[in-house]
Amino acid sequence: MRQRRPLPHVDRRRAPLSLRLRGRQRQAAHVEAVERRVGYRPLEARGPPVHLQQEVDRQRAAAVHVRRLAARLCPKPRILFVGINPSLTSARVGHHFAGPGNPFYRLLHAAGFVPEPITFIDDVRLPAFRLALTNIAERATREAAELTADDYARGRKRLARTIALIQPTVVAFVGGTAYRQFFGPSATPGPGPKPERIGDAAVFVVPNPSGRNAAYPGFADKLTWYRRLKRWADRVCKAAGRPARARAMPDRG
């Protein structure tokens, strides 16, 4: 039987890296080399993965949930605007429709509901114009899709109590989602006046002012319906014997 010649001794301190490393060390070195070639970045440089970001959003929402956004109410308003629920931004700053670029207050002014331009910090002054503002769901979320059936069930009961208490002339749902969640299967599609009534209050739906509203993407598209609400609400208020016009803008305290 032919005998193998003994391998020459190798001084690993002077040998190439591939010979100095053994087993798992060599495998790890190979992985690192590949990562450098493909431009791989470690986890801490890439930010949290999706499931961790979702957990961050959940905890952030839970943190602002304890500071519920108060409704802006007054007795017998001419219009009660009803949104879906507060955004995380609104809950954090304590004002309704406070998201970046949300045109809700611009729409109110352009449609003639208020006599001068206002912003979200003026929502506390809406009752001075006999306008009220609330949401069907209290819980702040990143998106309305995160709301649960329980959120809406509690919201329907609370909204019904609010309407019975303050007795608005018109309930204007800001977006079809809030309207459908309140009335359920009987809800009719699209914006405009609706056949339902809530107590003595007439019902109208205006487009959601969010920039994500693909059906009414532009400011002018939304403004058309806010102006229609203004004219329609004026007629309803007149028929009900309630003042339809806004008073002068009160000074900031």
Mean pLDDT of 74-102: 95
Given a cut of 70, is residue 179 above it in pLDDT?
Answer: yes
What pLDDT score does 66 carry? 43
Share of the chain above pLDDT 90, in %: 61
**What's the CA gap between 33 and 110, in Å, rounded?**
61
Q: What is the pLDDT of residues 32-64, one digit of tens each?
A: 765 666 555 554 445 555 556 666 566 555 554
Residue boundaries of the structural domains of the chain? 26-66, 70-240
Pick the CATH number of 70-240 from 3.40.50.300, 3.40.470.10, 3.40.50.150, 1.10.10.10: 3.40.470.10
Q: Which pLDDT band holds residue 100 (cuts at 50, 70, 90)? A: confident
Helix (H) or strand (E) holding 198: strand 192-198
b/e for 96-121, b at 16 or more Cβ within 10 A?
bbbbeebbbbbbbbbbebbeeebebe
**What's the CA gap between 131 and 114, in Å, rounded?**
9
What pLDDT score does 168 carry? 98
Given a cut of 80, is residue 6 above it in pLDDT?
Answer: no
**What's the CA gap between 79 and 206, in Å, rounded?**
12
Q: What is the pLDDT of residues 187-234, one digit of tens each?
A: 999 999 999 999 999 999 999 998 888 888 899 999 999 999 999 999
What pLDDT score does 151 carry? 96
What pLDDT score does 162 carry? 97
Q: What is the pLDDT of residues 11-21, one digit of tens each?
A: 555 555 555 55
What pLDDT score does 64 carry? 46
- Average pLDDT taken over every residue of the chain: 83
What pLDDT score does 171 carry? 98
Q: Which residue has the higher pLDDT, 236 or 42?
A: 236
What pLDDT score does 5 carry? 63
